[in-house]
Amino acid sequence: MDNRTNDSGPAVLTIAGLDPSGGAGLVADIRTFTAFGCFPTAVLTSITFQNRLRVFGAMHQTAATVRAQVEPILLDLNVVAAKTGMLPTGEIVSEVARLFRETKLPAPVVDPVMVSTSGFDLIADDAFLRLKSELLVLSRVVTPNIPEAERLTGLRITNTTDMWHAAQAIRELGVRAVLIKGGHLREQNEAVSREAIDILDDGGEVTVFRGEWIYAAEVHGTGCTLSAAIAACLGRGMELKASVSAAKKYVTENIRRQHY
């Protein structure tokens, strides 16, 4: 087995959907892995039909085709970090959970993708329930934004205290670590300061990340990129807190340069 730790970097896997416009999903993940000096591997869960403005539809893979993509990768490469993105159906969620339970895949960064930036539903109801009960408990860290955290917990989140309580509630589901992304707070509460605030709860140790709020119209894929950057940093041997910090800086600079 090739460890891919020399010239090509550590092998990191994404299991996610394809955004043909390149802003989110597999393309964004591969671009991010490469930027952090990792060897990218990718498994397709769904082909979406979208551009930078909206999603028009999607065609999903089956559980069998997802497994059939993963197994040859594991025969060839030592995957040292992984992330999941769009897992649209219940059968795909359950199959991905089985793969993480039954193989040597490392605990993944789980980006619980639910709705596109333009409002298109990216996960079926049964898939959401299985994600919550089967996959989150296998994760190294879960990275919900505010609407995703609200759906996972049933809580209303309007400030950083609410974010902290939501992180606690998600950890009580059996999750090891949670990063609540606060980017949507300004949309819900105009009184929120011009800071981008994220809260990490790793086994009860809470860290608040504060950064510059940058307004950028028509930005999508930041969640995919952040989770991919965290996975890449974990694959390079960094601790979770340092991985989140480095990932946030990378996403901020990408927004600043309007590369999405």
Is the pLDDT higher at 117 or at 121? 121
In the sheet that 55-60 helps form, which strands lie side by side, from edge to edge?
55-60, 39-50, 11-18, 79-84, 109-110, 141-142, 177-181, 195-202, 205-212
In this prediction, residue 260 has a pLDDT band, given cuts at 50, 70 and 90, of: very low
Q: Coil, strand or helix: which one is 23?
A: coil
| 178 phi, psi to nearest 5 deg | -135, 135
Is the pLDDT at 108 greater than 80, yes or no?
Answer: yes
- Domains in the chain, CATH or no CATH each: 11-257 (3.40.1190.20)
CA angle (163 as vertex; 167, 171 as ends), nearest 5: 5
What is the reported pTM? 0.91
Q: What is the pLDDT of residue 50?
A: 85
Cβ atoms of 140 and 109 closer than 8 Å: yes
In this prediction, residue 4 has a pLDDT band, given cuts at 50, 70 and 90, of: low
Q: What is the pLDDT of residue 7?
A: 64
Express each pLDDT in 25-57 by its tens digit: 999 999 999 999 999 999 999 998 988 888 898
Distance CA(173)–CA(155), nearest Å, equals 14
Q: What is the pLDDT of residue 184?
A: 58
CA angle (224 as vertex; 14, 252 as ends), nearest 5: 130
C-alpha distances out from residue 145 to 42, 95, 112, 186, 222, Å: 23, 24, 9, 12, 10
Q: Which residues pair with 21 in a beta bridge?
A: none
Is the pLDDT at 156 greater than 70, yes or no?
Answer: yes
Distance CA(99)–CA(251), nearest Å, equals 29
Express each pLDDT in 169-225 by its tens digit: 999 999 999 999 987 565 455 445 567 799 999 999 999 998 776 665 556 678 899
> Which pairing describes strands 205-212 and 195-202: parallel, antiparallel, or unpaired?
antiparallel
Q: What is the pLDDT of residue 259?
A: 44
Is the pLDDT higher at 72 or at 186? 72
In this prediction, residue 257 has a pLDDT band, given cuts at 50, 70 and 90, of: confident
Distance CA(147)–CA(128), nearest Å, equals 13
Mean pLDDT lowest among 50-54, 84-88, 174-178, 245-249: 50-54
Q: Letter for the amino acid at 90?
A: G
Distance CA(185)–CA(162), nearest Å, equals 11
Is the pLDDT higher at 246 or at 196? 246
